[in-house]
Structure 1
Amino acid sequence: MASVAVVGAGVTGLVTAIGCARAGHRVTVFDRGPVPNPASASSDQHRALRVLRPDDVHGTLRMAEARRRWLELESLLRTEIFRPVGVVTAGTPDELAPVFDTAGRAGLPAVAVSPDALAPVVFPAGTAGVLDVGAGVLLAERFLRAAAEWLAAHPAVTLRPRCAVVDVGDHRVSAADGTVVDADLVLVAAGPGNTELVERPVTLYRQTMVYLRPPPQLAGWWTSAPGVGRIGAARTAWLLPPGGGTLLKISSDAVCREVAATTERDRGPWADRLLAEPILTGAADYAVVAVRDCHYAADPVGGGPMLVRIRPSVWSRPACGGTGFATAPLVAEEILGAVMEVKA
């Protein structure tokens, strides 16, 4: 039996804690807020889980494995986490051909979609869609609540809510209240701006999201609608459908910007800019319920998510947005493998 300390009770921290506890290890989870923390980067109504990665068979199979692991978590927690509604990607015929090719080589289904079949969505001129059948929507807030309840009831798990960590060393975590916890392995899975614990550079981004309520005449249509991506004026917008207690969410890379810190003031009319994007037909009929800014960290060199071993026993996984949420079970599996190496 190993001891594992997890700093940060977002999706990566909670999924990793569940995996380690199920493997028979002792786990302590720290968070500076409540568990789950509504202010965490992971907290959101829903997140996309895409499976198909054009021209990347290995990446596609990895995401199919992530989907399988999410379904295992759904069974373990006995609550619906994954809505298998699929995700449609818009593209020209030349752009969609690699998607179908990858699906065929990976042995996964992909279905051509006419824009007429998704009339409430604005498709860019000259594009159609391909449905990633294995994709869908992760009910993020529902998972975080269920995971926290499962961990709270597990005899090998100690949750330390409202307990800020001030220092991480090899095999050691020190909290602001003076508590020091020794561990065989430490995972720092804190918010994107909490780089002082690991001293590794990241690029920090802020993105605006708008949550909408469809008009009554379309409410039924949206309950079974897929997610849709690569729409909008520059084809960088996307939407996640309502369902499972969630609202319709829209966003775009057009409102994603680099910031120096999560506390940096932001004066731009980002919500207005997003609402002006050609995403929905009859957009004026949709009621704006909420606007939210989220933050995520990326590798300053490669631009993608980061999982870094910074000391022999310390791993870091800064919050990295929707991709980070979807791939959390894969990260947890890698961390569990590292725990086994430490004890070997």
Structure 2
Amino acid sequence: MNVIVVGAGIAGLSTAWALVRRGVAVTLLEQGPVPNPLSASGDQHRIIRRAYGGQGGYQRRISDAYAAWDEMWDDLGARHLVDTGFLLLSQEPGDEGERYRTGMIAGGYALDEMSGAEAEARYPFLDGQTLRFAAFNPEGGVLLCREIAAGLRDWLRARGADLRERTRVTAIDRAAGTVTLADGTVLTADRVVVTAGAWVTQLAPDLAPTLTPYRTAVVYLEPPADLKAAWAAAPVILDVGGKVDGYVLPPVPGTGLKFGAGIHKYRNADANANRLPVPGEGETLRDHFAPPFARIAEYRVTDVVTCAYTFTADEHFFVRDDGRTVFVSACSGHGYKFGAVVGQKIAAGLLSGDIDMARIWLEARD
């Protein structure tokens, strides 16, 4: 079997990795460099965590995700995961912080719960008076995206995969299993896997009703000098509570302090458009986080990075088998933590001829 993979974000790289491990000939096509700073996987770091709100299927599947990452670390000879644990914050009844806590309790996973005052004492960057509660779990951390992409790129090439950077795909014939490149070259394979992220609807416009591209951004901040040590030792903050759908990644070695807010997104059909930050965007993002953070105006914006994701209406992964072509998409940035196991499941489905098995696992409705 030979397979063409379109898109070298984490899903594409992991699919290529899992196929090459099984002796499959792989051609991996990426429109930019690898890692691509414009891709959903191109930023400094991403969260991995057990908590998943009401989506118990994904909460349970994190065990398989960790196992798949461990297999990848063995192949790469390096562990690109920093274990920080994760923190949940709640500001008002029924907010996402509370939903995450409820899901963890329902799943039988222990949490170290604390009052707002106790949370502020432990994490002095918090304003404890704005919090109903905080809860910590040690099973979570930070995945180092750039190191993972570069490591997989080099591993694939060393094992004979045909990885082509700066190679744009303009058309796919799903039934024939052919891919047309921007220079007119036509490539053919037994199977084609499309992991093109927010660019997928440009190659498959009929998927637009199901996969909606959005543009969002994250901001990197320098905290006040007296809080830098606290942030350097901080866990991932999975949700800050309230209405902003906010999350924070601590500045583990080689990365910065990153804030992102789910409310800071809008539909963007062309994933290449609107990719430059607008003036004041970093400050706007930063200011969403007061509360629950104290002295937020003292945090200096050092960088703003735009992101492009696809979203599904029910926030589950998407897999469609069409002719000789398989389309694979996560919902928003949540897909990164499952990257290695996504590749394993898609590879297993291709080799067994049972893509539906992979779809059922990735949709995680059980």
Q: Same fold (TM over 0.5)?
A: yes
Runs of at least 5 residues in structure 2 that lack an aligned partner in the other structure? 356-366
Tell me the alpha carbon deviations over residues 232-263 of structure 1, each in whole angstroms, 9 at most, x when there is no partner: 65252221100120000012123222233335
2:198 counterpart SS class: coil
Q: Distance in 1 between matches of 2:189 and 2:246?
A: 43
Q: 1:20 to 1:115 in 2, by over 3 A?
A: same
Q: Distance in 2 between matches of 1:18 and 1:100?
A: 35
Tell me the alpha carbon deviations over residues 275-317 of structure 1, each in whole angstroms, 9 at most, x when there is no partner: 2221532234333210122111112x42x25423241321113
TM-score (norm 2): 0.83
Tell me the alpha carbon deviations over residues 118-161 of structure 1, each in whole angstroms, 9 at most, x when there is no partner: 22134573421122321111111111111111111112x11111
1:1-344 equivalent positions in 2, closer than 5 A: 2-91=1-90, 102-103=103-104, 106=107, 108-113=109-114, 114-116=118-120, 117-122=122-127, 125-155=130-160, 157-169=161-173, 170=175, 171-199=177-205, 200-201=207-208, 202-231=211-240, 234-265=243-274, 269-277=280-288, 278=290, 279-299=292-312, 301-302=313-314, 304-318=315-329, 320-342=331-353
Q: 1:235 to 1:343 in 2, by over 3 A?
A: closer
Read off the aligned partner of 2:77 and give its amino acid letter: R
Q: Distance in 1 between matches of 2:38 and 2:105?
A: 41
1:112 counterpart SS class: strand
Read off the aligned partner of 1:181 and give its amino acid letter: L
Q: Distance in 2 between matches of 1:73 and 1:263?
A: 30
Task: Quote the sequence identity (%).
Answer: 28
Deviation at 1:85, TM superposition (A): 0.4
Deviation at 1:162, TM superposition (A): 1.7
Q: Distance in 2 between matches of 1:112 and 1:289?
A: 33
1:338 counterpart SS class: helix
TM-score (norm 1): 0.88
Runs of at least 5 residues in structure 1 that lack an aligned partner in the other structure? none
Q: 1:196 to 1:103 in 2, by over 3 A?
A: closer
Q: 1:263 to 1:179 in 2, by over 3 A?
A: closer
User: Over the residues paired in the alignment, what is the CA RMSD in angstroms?
Assistant: 2.7
Q: Distance in 2 between matches of 1:99 and 1:297?
A: 22
Aligned length: 340
1:130 counterpart SS class: strand
2:15 counterpart SS class: helix
Tell me the alpha carbon deviations over residues 147-201 of structure 1, each in whole angstroms, 9 at most, x when there is no partner: 111111112x111112211221232222223333322221111140341222211
Deviation at 1:320, TM superposition (A): 4.3
2:78 counterpart SS class: coil
Q: Distance in 2 between matches of 1:75 and 1:251?
A: 31
Q: Distance in 1 between matches of 2:270 and 2:129?
A: 34
Q: In 2, are the aligned partners of 1:90 and 1:123 still within 8 Å (CA)?
A: no
Q: Distance in 2 between matches of 1:123 and 1:186?
A: 52
Q: 1:343 to 1:271 in 2, by over 3 A?
A: closer
Q: In 2, are the aligned partners of 1:124 and 1:232 still within 8 Å (CA)?
A: no
Q: Distance in 2 between matches of 1:184 and 1:148?
A: 22
Worse-superposed segment, 175-184 or 37-46: 175-184
Deviation at 1:14, TM superposition (A): 0.4
Read off the aligned partner of 2:271 and give its amino acid letter: T
Q: In 2, are the aligned partners of 1:223 and 1:243 still within 8 Å (CA)?
A: yes
Q: In 2, are the aligned partners of 1:210 and 1:288 still within 8 Å (CA)?
A: yes
Q: In 2, are the aligned partners of 1:3 and 1:183 still within 8 Å (CA)?
A: yes
Q: Distance in 2 between matches of 1:343 and 1:230?
A: 36
Q: Distance in 2 between matches of 1:207 and 1:252?
A: 9
Q: 1:198 to 1:123 in 2, by over 3 A?
A: farther
Q: Distance in 2 between matches of 1:263 and 1:35?
A: 17
Deviation at 1:7, TM superposition (A): 0.4
Q: In 2, are the aligned partners of 1:64 and 1:134 still within 8 Å (CA)?
A: no
Q: In 1, are the aligned partners of 2:92 and 2:241 still within 8 Å (CA)?
A: no
